[in-house]
Structure 1
Amino acid sequence: MRIRAERDDLVDVLGRAARAVSPRSPLPILQGLLVTVGGHMMRVTGTDLDMTVRTELEVEVLEEGQAVVPARLITEAARKLPSGAVVLATADGEVELSGGGPRFRFRELPVADFPAVPEPSLQDAVEVDGDDFVAALAQVAVAASHDDARPVLTGVYFEATDAGLRLVATDSYRLALRDLPAVRSSMTGLVPVRALRELSRTVASKKMRIAVGSREASFGSSRGTLTVRLIEGSFPNYRQLLPTGYPSRLTVSRDALLQAIDRASLVAEDHIPIRLQLEAGGVELSVSRQDVGGETEHVPAEYRGDEMTIAFNSRYLNDGVAAVEEEQVVLDVVDPLKPGVVRGAEGEDYLYLLMPVRL
């Protein structure tokens, strides 16, 4: 195998495929990238058996072939070469990368040991606007859990509804929901949030194709494909968590509220809640720590309802408000012990439900 390509293009195609490679894999072969060269193309595959990323690049093919190269080393070596044309070649059990003077040599990994990863199934895929889809994923991914002890909470639930595709995530303390009316399909499945966070770094593009099957989800574009195994198990019945009505509503500037939360978080940190005193004319945010001190400020806003004090985890509250894409944010509440809902003042496609902290 021997190819010539521009350094920056080679770094891009290797680096994106390497996002699927786990450096802590107990199997040495899974720390490598499968590079296949034929025709005018170089195809690169990285996998950890749960997630697989495939990328490809049009190159000058000097000799066709196939090799498994160490993912981290080959990507970093390519990045450190001078800009311009570089040559990637294999011979006698070694892979050689050279260009502009420097020459790297690394030991190849056995091609026969690389797992046979099935090709992504995109025949029945739905085409979506990639920018809108990635933005919607970012809005809900903040609510997904990082605790592998509860796998069903570490994913984003894709649900086909009469209103289009719905994305839902929860870690049991908060829940984020986003509807995509423009995406009409019958796909339903629980997709690992780790893989979804990699979309923007690997294959996301203006136009994307999405397919969710019975065992895996596939995402494709002109930049390549990402395939991931679905999470087994039943997603919680999130609908029963959504209150049917909210007697009290706060409407406030998103930026003003975020700045106030940021100042209060300086004192609160993660374990101290922020108190919100909801009253006519606005909201007063306050936080107090016996060993440090406190912070209090008033944010002008429109409030409809009975006066009350409700408290939230500062980071969770910040995540929800930051995810809203409008200038005005609405906080709907029932009472200090029931979940509050953050949403945009105009749009109905996104909501963020947050459990309060008992005072």
Structure 2
Amino acid sequence: MKFRVERDVLADAVTWTARTLPTRPPAPVLAGVRMEADPSGILNLASFDYETSARSELPAEVAEPGTVLVSGRLLAEISRALPSKPVDVTLEGNKVVLTCGASRFTLLTMPVDEYPALPAMPELSGTVPGEALTAAVAQVTVAASRDDTLPLLTGVRVEIEDEKITLLATDRYRLALRELTWTPSTPGFSAIALVRARTLNDVARSLGASGGAVNVGLSTGNGVDLVGFEAGGRHTTSQLVDGDYPPVRRLFPDSSPIHAVVATAPLIDAAKRVSLVAERNTPIRMSFSEGQVVLDAGQGDDAQASEALEAVLTGEDIAVAFNPQYLLDGLGALGTDFVRLSFTHPNKPVEFTGQDSLDGEDDSTYRYLLVPIRFTG
């Protein structure tokens, strides 16, 4: 095997392909990145841990085709450290030699014949605009659980019905729902899948951020349920989370007799300031009355803080308390100038939606439901 490739192109592709390599691989070969130089002038890079696969295609001047397996993390570190010159890669016996300017590195190869076959990319189900996917995933995954002892809740439920995708995530303390449109490959396409939140986050950042369309493929009911994403010559697949997601949609209230509207940015700033005195596991209290909301935290002999902001209240006065970080997560995910908080009872979950003006209509394409913390006084 012998090929030449541009340093920046190689470093970017290797870093992306090696990003999901396991820290403690179940088999040594799974710590490797497979490099396959094709006579057509394409270098294929691949990684796989039996759960998630990644493949990159990049142009290369291939003098001698071949396939090798080398340490992925080491290859990524070396490729990023090389000078900005073309990189020559050659297989010499059981070693791969990288030469770039005056720099020369030698890597031991791993047994490529022991490397598992990568899963095929599922058949195309549809395409979604990259920027829309990135924004939607960021809004929803803030509510996904990070507790691996509850694997179901570390996933995002993806509901597809024709041209509409609905993303849902919960960690039992908050619930996020986001709707977006896409272009299905066949009219009337319908599917439900549970995708790992970290997979969606990774795809949104690495594939969606380019701004182009992201191809999505779903394969279910054939023994191995997979989701696949492809954009810009990069492919990634991931096994779906197995299990029945709880029926969380019903948690959203049908109606809310009380709601308040507050400017989002000032509320975020005030919550950050007030939360400075909120010790671990203590809430921020929000008291709504005509024309204002008062945020306060701390009590007794502890440090205390309070701040009042302008608010428009519809309905009777109400006071609630929230986990400061969960409150900030929801407010930060809205992306609108104003937030509407809809209440049914001081101890019932509060729905957050965004709106563009103080007296406008709220946008229900993104809904964040937060369970308040009970407090006295």
Shared fold (TM-score, shorter chain, > 0.5)? yes
Match of 1:240 in 2: 250
Match of 1:140 in 2: 140
The worse-fitting range, judged by mean Cα deviation, of 81-90 and 65-74 is 81-90
Q: Report the Cα offset of residue 19 of structure 1.
A: 1.3
Letter in 1 for 2:76: T
Contact 1:21 1:46 in 2 (8 A): yes
Q: Does 1:98 align with 2:114?
A: no
Letter in 2 for 1:105: T
Q: Secondary structure at the match of 2:133?
A: helix
Letter in 1 for 2:36: T
The percent of aligned pairs where both chains have the same amino acid is 35
Q: Does 1:265 align with 2:271?
A: no
Q: Report the Cα offset of residue 290 of structure 1.
A: 5.1
| Among candidates 248, 266, 291, match of residue 256 of structure 1 | 266
Q: Report the Cα offset of residue 291 of structure 1.
A: 6.5
Question: RMSD of aligned C-alpha atoms?
Answer: 1.5
| Among candidates 287, 290, 295, match of residue 297 of structure 2 | 287
- Measure, in 2, the Cα distance between the counterparts of 1:89 and 1:70: 16
Match of 1:307 in 2: 317
Q: What do residues 41-67 of structure 1 show as CA deviations (whole Å, max 9, x unaligned)?
A: 001111221111111101111210000
Q: Report the Cα offset of residue 143 of structure 1.
A: 0.4
Q: What do residues 138-193 of structure 1 show as CA deviations (whole Å, max 9, x unaligned)?
A: 10000000111111100110112477110000011100000113455412100011
Q: Secondary structure at the match of 2:91?
A: strand
| Among candidates 189, 209, 214, match of residue 215 of structure 2 | 209
TM-score (structure 2 length as normaliser)? 0.92
Q: Does 1:331 align with 2:337?
A: no
Change (3 A) 1:176 1:270: farther
Contact 2:37 2:65 in 1 (8 A): yes
- Measure, in 1, the Cα distance between the counterparts of 2:117 and 2:95: 22
Change (3 A) 1:131 1:260: same
Match of 2:200 in 1: 196
Q: Secondary structure at the match of 2:373?
A: coil
Letter in 2 for 1:219: F
- Measure, in 2, the Cα distance between the counterparts of 1:234 and 1:147: 17
Match of 1:67 in 2: 68
Change (3 A) 1:304 1:173: same
Contact 2:125 2:217 in 1 (8 A): yes
Contact 1:177 1:351 in 2 (8 A): yes
| Among candidates 186, 198, 206, match of residue 190 of structure 2 | 186
- Measure, in 1, the Cα distance between the counterparts of 2:163 and 2:310: 35
- Measure, in 2, the Cα distance between the counterparts of 1:302 and 1:229: 46
Q: What do residues 73-110 of structure 1 show as CA deviations (whole Å, max 9, x unaligned)?
A: 01111111111111122221111112021111111111
- Measure, in 1, the Cα distance between the counterparts of 2:182 and 2:107: 48
Q: What do residues 259-286 of structure 1 show as CA deviations (whole Å, max 9, x unaligned)?
A: 0111122222541110000111121000
Letter in 2 for 1:194: R
Q: Secondary structure at the match of 1:30?
A: helix
- Measure, in 1, the Cα distance between the counterparts of 2:254 and 2:138: 26
Equivalent residue runs for 1:42-57 within 5 Å: 42-57=43-58
Match of 1:24 in 2: 24
Match of 2:359 in 1: none
Q: Secondary structure at the match of 1:118?
A: coil
Q: Does 1:170 align with 2:170?
A: yes
TM-score (structure 1 length as normaliser)? 0.96
Q: Does 1:355 align with 2:371?
A: yes
Gaps spanning 5+ residues in structure 2: where?
A: 356-361
Gaps spanning 5+ residues in structure 1: where?
A: none
- Measure, in 1, the Cα distance between the counterparts of 2:121 and 2:232: 14
Aligned residues between the structures = 358
- Measure, in 1, the Cα distance between the counterparts of 2:279 and 2:90: 52
